[in-house]
Amino acid sequence: MDALRQKAYHRTFDLACSRLGEMPLEERATKAGLGFVKKEDSSYVSVPFFDETIEVASPGFSFRSLKGSNVTLVTRIVILHYLIQASGNPVGTTLVPYEDIPGCRTYLPVFERRVVRPLMSAFGYSRDAFLTAGKALGGKVEEYGDASFTLSAFPRLPITFILWEGEEEFPPSIKVLFDQSIHTYLPLEDIVVVSKMAATRILKEARKEYMEG
C-alpha cells in the first residue's frame, strides 16, 4: 500500500473511531446484531466476520481476532463503519444485484473488475472447486445456478455468490447478490471493499484446497 493511500486510510480510521466514540456502543452493537459485554471500565463487542470472530474493545477501539490472524486497517475501518451505520432493518426479504443497490450502478465496472472477474477466471469451468471453497468458509449452500452459496460478512450482511458453469457453447457467468438492506448497514464505498474481501477469501480457500489435494 503506497504512503498516500495508507495516510488516507489512517484518517478514515481515526474519523470512524471519533464518530463511534460519540455513540452509545451497546445500542450500535444491538442494531448490528453483535454481542456486547461490559466489564468494569471497558466494553467489548464480538464481531463475527466471515469465518472468524473479531473482538473490538472500547475505549480506544482495539481489535483482536480470536483466530489469531492479523486484523488489517481496512478490516478495522469496515467493522467500524458497520457499527456506525447499522440500521437494525430486517434482513432476508429480497436479494438484489450490485447495480440495483441505490447509488451503486455507476460503480458497476469497478465491482465487476475487482470482484466478479477474478472469481470467473478461477471458477468459470469448475463449479465443484467453487462450491467446496464456499462451504469451507462456512457458506450456506443455495439452489441458484449450477453452484451457489451465501457467506455472512457480518451477521446482518449476507453475500450470495452464484455460478453458471461455462460449456463449449456458453461462457461462464457469476452473479453476486446482496440483501436489499445492505446500504443501510454499510456506506456505498465499503460494499465493493467487503465484496472483494469475500472474493479474496474464496480464492485463497480454493488455492489451499488445491495444494492440500
| 163-172 pLDDT tens trace | 999 887 889 9
pLDDT at position 207 is: 87
Indicate if the pLDDT at residue 210 is higher than 80: no
Q: How many helices (H) and strands (E) does the chain have?
A: 7, 9
pLDDT at position 213 is: 55
Indicate if the pLDDT at residue 212 is higher than 70: no
CB of 160 closer than 8 Å to CB of 95: yes
The grid coordinates of residue 194 equal: 467487503
CA distance 189 to 26: 25
Is residue 54 helix, strand or coil?
A: strand
What is the number of alpha carbons within 13 Å of residue 93 lying toward its C-beta? 6
The domains of the chain are located at 3-85, 95-212
- Average pLDDT of 61-82? 96
| Greatest extent of the chain over all pairs of C-alpha atoms, in Å | 65
For the segment 106-118, what is each residue's pLDDT rounded down to a tens digit?
Answer: 999 999 999 999 9
Percent of residues, the chain, with pLDDT higher than 90: 88
Would you place residue 3 in the very low, low, confident or very high pLDDT band (cuts 50, 70, 90)?
A: confident
Taking phi first (over 0 means left), then psi (-120 to 50 degrees means alpha), and beta for anything else, what does residue 35 get?
beta
Is residue 41 helix, strand or coil?
A: coil
